[in-house]
Structure 1
């Protein structure tokens, strides 16, 4: 995007950044902001590695630009929590996996402070990340559903095969007593 590393963004680049963040917020199911003061460069890099997971977006955005992007989104409810250096993290699907990754990072790095958390446009208490982290991933939920659907069929099959099996065992026992 920019060749110069420490040059301030010009107006067009700021508009592009606000549009990029706005587009991400349109598709986001879960968003959180955190104060990253006190994190080392390596810890920030580790946090950004979470964004390599599909559907997760992490970016450090200036407060004014973040507030502009939030203004027209369903997540405007957290605008008042935006102050100080903020890192924005969003998940477009699978909030459980997102929360697990973020919670694990927060547990391992006490220097990051969670500022706001919202799910589908509703602001959540910051402790709710623990509840979100216990949600199964999509694949886990499908697996659980399939095992629940499969259990009655397995019980029916076991019952249906138990009667002939019991009959064969009884006949075998009778045969054994006659010989």
Structure 2
């Protein structure tokens, strides 16, 4: 018979898997409680870091329909459940792992498939959503400005041509009455 506390833990982890846009599996061997607290703070509000028993995580992943994590669940395991921006959480984990050798990224899960360590690092190398949107907006603004310039160019060319024609007529018109006056005098 399963113990009620373990059943509740499995259900809670399964619910975390269902509600997360991504998750990253790590090994935390050798980290102190203060280091784990620092890691949790660096993840921000969009992610939660949970230490859990591998058997409970395996059962919870099975209940949530998450596949491909079994080989990652060896040794002391903690999972980061990301509900916010996956890039920000992956960066926080990668940066923390660089300065704290006790944290080892094993892999993850996102968009219905398991992620390797290299894929988690690639995710961390991406720029945040806000930066990418700003770059896209800047590129679109530049394209719009070029288009506006191209659309305005024919009109300004016509205006310059009309002004040049008016200037030429004014020159000819000013010279023509003088010639007419000399012709009538002769």
Give the TM-score normalised by structure 1.
0.76
CA shift, 1:100, in A, is 0.9
Q: Does 1:116 align with 2:116?
A: no
- Mapped partners of 2:107, 2:118: distance in 1: 10
- Mapped partners of 1:144, 1:94: distance in 2: 17
Partner of 1:70: 61
Partner of 1:139: 130
- Mapped partners of 1:50, 1:15: distance in 2: 30
Q: Does 1:81 align with 2:72?
A: yes
Secondary structure of the residue aligned to 1:39 is coil
Corresponding pairs, count: 159
CA shift, 1:149, in A, is 1.8
CA shift, 1:163, in A, is 4.3
- Mapped partners of 2:11, 2:130: distance in 1: 32
* Alignment check: 8 A CA contact 2:106 2:116 kept: no
CA shift, 1:156, in A, is 3.2
Q: CA RMSD in A?
A: 2.6
Partner of 1:45: 37
Question: 1:157-176 maps to which residues of 2 (within 5 A)?
Answer: 157-158=148-149, 160=152, 163=156
Structure 1: which 5+ residue stretches go unaligned? 1-9, 172-179
Q: Which has the larger radius of gyration?
A: 2
Partner of 1:55: 46
Q: Does 1:153 align with 2:144?
A: yes
CA shift, 1:141, in A, is 2.5
Partner of 1:26: 18
Partner of 1:125: 116
* Alignment check: 8 A CA contact 2:67 2:114 kept: no
* Alignment check: 8 A CA contact 1:36 1:86 kept: yes
* Alignment check: 8 A CA contact 1:50 1:56 kept: no
Structure 2: which 5+ residue stretches go unaligned? 165-186
- Of 78, 86, 90 in structure 2, the residue corresponding to residue 95 of structure 1 is 86
